[in-house]
Chain A
Amino acid sequence: MWVLRLGRCFSGAASGGASSGSRLARAAPGGGRQEAAGDPGCKGRVFQNPTWQHVEQTPLSQKKVTVEVLDHLERLALVDFRNWEGVQQLEKAIQFADQLHAVNTEGVEPMDSVLEDRCLYLREDNITEGNCTEELLQNAKEKVEEYFVAPPGNIPLAKLEERDTCLQVSK
């Protein structure tokens, strides 16, 4: 697992150093035409050395997820972890994502879409297509007349102890 450091700007473990993000922004001033304009001799050049380094993360800071949360995830997603490797994958993914906390996002609005400045296209509410029941039913495995057939609903997934899941082992 690697954590980001910029050269000599050490910032401790991934989850700490909330200022490292802003340090990153401040450490690299200007750039672009202004810099070139200020110094006519300065030419754009591909940086000779990597501008940052990877650092191995200590095992102590590895995230542990409780079995309750894992069970909850399996129920929400209706997808199973299959084995403890799957759980470890999740923990690694969380650890990786934790690096985000180093960025200073004060006053920044979340961005849903890059096209947020535009109006969504709404067409006229007229029927332009349809009547394709047979076509659509062709892909379904279980059907009766024009219905998709589902097993009985409103039955929650079995509790952890009664399910066939690798998470049982720890309980």
Chain B
Amino acid sequence: MLRVSLREISAALKEGQVSPTELCQRCLSLIKATKFLNAYITVAEDTALKQAEESEKRYRTGQTLGNLDGIPFAVKDNFSTAGIETTCASNMLKGYIPPYNATVVQKLLDQGAVLLGKTNLDEFAMGSGSTDGIFGPVKNPWSYSRQYREKHVQHSHTENEDSNWLITGGSSGGSAAAVSSFTCFVALGSDTGGSTRNPASHCGVVGLKPTYGLVSRHGLIPLVNSMDVPGILTRCVDDAAIVLGILAGHDPKDSTTVQDTFKPFELPSFIDVSKLCIGIPKEYHTPGLSSETLALWAKAADLFENAGAKVVDVNLPHTHYSIVCYHVLCTAEVASNMARFDGLEYGHRSNMDQSTEVMYAATRREGFNYVVRGRILSGNYFLLKQNYENYFVKAQKVRRLIANDFVNVFNRGIDVLLTPTTLTDTIPYLEFIKEDNRTRSAQDDIFTQAANLAGLPAISVPTALSEKGLPIGLQFIGQAFQEMQLLTVAKWFEKQMKFPMVQLQGVMDEGHTVSHHQKSAFFS
């Protein structure tokens, strides 16, 4: 029951096959059973059950609020949620309880959806592994899947079942793991450089990054104001379209949302791609791309071609510089955004109080981890008077060149671009931590951050399993505000690939003590 799509569970709720409270309880049980994944930082059990009860009343009186009434969802812990601790996985905001809901959270609650909890992430969404938060790393549910376990030969008899677990990717790893392990039907992430699409690819779920300006950022604790967008993680493309329909639109509280009226759309069931033109950017074939991902990419291109679409090579000449440009702009904006954390009005406050400067410095010293501190210092360096022109303004110019690359390609009649999402399938945590956060981000964000620089919508669709039995996703990049076209193409592709569902039964047999009640909740 927990594995079905949004549409199916909504129908089940309407027909009374399951009640909102029962559904909520099953999800909460499953969250407890999968606690070892460390996907959730806060589980809002009481408020969730209360919301579920209210939803049940509405179903009884036939006055439901919409398609999402009673449906459990999770939210990344950098979205403000009234009355529920919001930490951004950082000591700086530990214990911080926002007095308001982020607009996107409020919109979902207004539809009657049930908020299960806040998911784990890299500290302040800085990272590509969901490993650098204070609550510990998130484990990829696929580490425990039958598909992976069957292919994975334990190399030494001392390696126990759990020591070589795999990362989820990041920074919205908790949200991706939550959706992938069936504990909720949709989760919100944030996407600044690929933070929704990267873990979506590694966890075998759909990760949508909407156009910049389409979805409100009010309440999303900002990382890079000119690139952040809330991301949507679901198990199928249809679900992403449904949720986008609710979240998109102008918000007076976020002046960077566009004023155009947004019309929610439904994706067609019969899709004809023969009139489409798909672009394959040459420069996205980078060193480090695994042969499996490359083969899948080629296979996808052939798939479209055989269906009658035009598939052409395109050039995005400044691709090589986009990661560098992103690095400079990101650290510069981070340096500015993190300045608000001084301990005075909210968050952690140091006991050192000889002067405001000393207090601020000590608070920030105690509150931030090495990743955040590193980015703040780099950002400040690039913003120094002597460096401003050479680094910051230069990066802004390069940003325009990159955005123009995309405009040029789309102007030539390309509808949608097809690229890999990540270089390889996911890797073990022990392997991942051999390099530092910045190096990893530079490597892992390579395909995803250009869409953030240009503000374009992009979606990662789970494509196939690698030889190791792990998910590989491919990315589609669309034209600004053309989410309907983008999602239609993605849906067609998803239907063709028939990506397998993760088989997690194995985990129950390996000594995780689970009560009979929880077990039945899991297997239903």
Chain A residues proximal to chain B, CB less than 8 Å? 4, 6, 21, 24-25, 28, 30-36, 43-47, 49-54, 65, 69, 72-74, 76-82, 86, 89-90, 92-94, 96-97, 99-103, 105, 108-115, 118, 120-123, 132, 135-136, 138-142, 148, 150-153, 155-158
B311 sits at the interface (CB 8 A): yes
Q: Does B360 contact A (CB under 8 A)?
A: yes
Do A35 and B317 touch (CB < 8 A)?
A: no
- Interface residue B237 (Cβ < 8 Å from any Cβ of A): no
Contacts of A158 in B (CB 8 A): 358
Whether B287 and A53, one on each chain, are in contact in the complex, defined by CB atoms closer than 8 angstroms, is: yes
A-contact 0/1 string along B271-288, CB 8 Å cutoff: 000000111101101111
A97 to B288, CA, bound (A): 21
B412 touches A111 (CB 8 A): no
15 A–B pairs (Cβ distance < 8 Å), ordered by A: A6-B320, A31-B312, A32-B315, A33-B412, A44-B311, A50-B289, A78-B357, A80-B373, A92-B438, A94-B378, A103-B394, A122-B255, A135-B99, A155-B354, A155-B358
The digit string for B318-340, where 1 denotes a CB below 8 A from any CB of A, is 10110011011001000100000
Q: Are B335 and A101 in contact (CB under 8 A)?
A: no
Q: Could you tell me the distance in whole angstroms from the C-beta of A18 to the nearest C-beta in chain B? A: 12
User: Which residues of chain A come closer than 8 Å to B390, judged between CB atoms?
Assistant: 101
Given contacts A52-B286, A155-B354, contact A136 B99 (CB under 8 A): yes
Given A28-B317, A44-B280 in contact, is the A90-B378 Cβ separation under 8 Å?
A: yes
- What is the distance, in angstroms, from A110's C-beta to the closest C-beta of chain B? 3
Q: Residues of A contacting B365 with CB < 8 Å?
A: 79-80, 82
Closest B residue to A46 by beta carbon equals B298
Determine if B400 and A151 form an interchain contact, defined as CB atoms under 8 angstroms apart: no
Residues of B with Cβ closer than 8 Å to A? Answer: 96-97, 99, 212-213, 226, 250, 252, 255-259, 277-280, 282-283, 285-289, 294, 297-298, 301, 305, 310-315, 317-318, 320-321, 324-325, 327-328, 331, 335, 342-347, 349, 353-361, 364-365, 368, 370, 373-374, 376-378, 380-382, 384, 390-391, 393-401, 403, 409, 412-414, 436, 438, 442, 454-455, 480
Known: A21-B321, A111-B399. A155 touches B357 (CB 8 A): yes
Q: Is the interface of A mostly helix, strand, loop or mixed?
A: loop
Residue from B277, B283, B409 within 8 A of A52 (CB atoms): B283
Extra 11 A-B pairs, beta carbons < 8 Å, given A46-B280, A110-B400, A111-B403: A21-B318, A25-B317, A31-B282, A73-B377, A79-B364, A81-B373, A111-B399, A132-B99, A151-B354, A155-B354, A155-B355
Question: In the complex the two chains form, what is the Cα distance from A155 to B360 in whole Å?
Answer: 12
- Quick one: which of A24, A50, A97, A151 contacts B324, CB cutoff 8 A? A97
Closest 3 CB pairs of A and B: A114-B455, A110-B396, A44-B311
- Whether B370 and A86, one on each chain, are in contact in the complex, defined by CB atoms closer than 8 angstroms, is yes
Q: Would you call B357 and A157 a contact (CB within 8 A)?
A: yes
Contact status of A115 and B213, CB under 8 A, knowing A77-B376, A153-B355, A155-B357? yes
Taking CB atoms, residues of chain B closer than 8 Å to A110 are: 393, 396-397, 399-400
Choose among B250, B310, B356, B438 the residue that contacts A33 (Cβ–Cβ < 8 A). B310
Known: A32-B414, A50-B287, A139-B347. Contact between A97 and B391, CB under 8 A?
yes
Contacting A96 at CB < 8 Å: which of B226, B279, B286, B327? Answer: B327
Shortest Cβ distance from A79 into chain B, in angstroms? 5
A100 touches B395 (CB 8 A): yes
User: Chain B residue with minimal CB distance to A65?
Assistant: B381
The smallest C-beta distance from B41 to any residue of chain A, in angstroms, reads 18
Interface centre among A89, A112, A120, by most B CB within 10 Å? A89
**CA gap between A118 and B380 in the complex, in Å:** 29
Contact B312 A157 (CB under 8 A): no
Q: Is the Cβ of A121 less than 8 Å from the Cβ of B250?
A: yes
Q: Are B374 and A93 in contact (CB under 8 A)?
A: yes
User: Shortest beta-carbon distance, A152 to chain B, in Å?
Assistant: 6
Q: Which residues of the partner chain B approach A148 to less than 8 Å between Cβ atoms?
A: 344-345
Most buried by A among B335, B345, B354: B345
B374 adjacent to A86 (CB under 8 Å): yes
Cα distance, A93 to B391, chains bound together (Å): 12
Complex CA distance for A122 and B305, rounded to whole angstroms: 47
In-complex Cβ contact of B285 among A21, A50, A74, A136 (8 A):
A50
Closest Cβ of chain A to B380, distance in Å, is 5
Q: Is there contact, CB below 8 Å, between B361 and A157?
A: yes
A53 neighbours in B (Cβ, 8 Å): 287
Known: A4-B320, A103-B321. A120 touches B255 (CB 8 A): yes
Does A77 contact B377, Cβ atoms closer than 8 Å?
Answer: yes
Contact partner of B313 (CB less than 8 A), chosen from A21, A45, A113, A157, is: A45
- Given known pairs A44-B312, A80-B361, A136-B345, the reply for A115 and B258 (CB within 8 Å) is yes
Min distance, Cβ B291 to any Cβ of chain A, angstroms = 11
CB atoms of B360 and A78 under 8 A apart: yes
- CB contacts (< 8 Å) of B252 on chain A: these are 121, 123
How far does the alpha carbon of A28 sit from the alpha carbon of B438 in the complex, in Å?
Answer: 30
Complex Cα spacing A138 to B85, Å = 13
Contacting pair B454 A114 (CB below 8 A):
yes
Taking the closest CB of chain A, its distance from the CB of B288, in whole angstroms, is 8
Partner of A150, one of B277, B286, B356, B370: B356
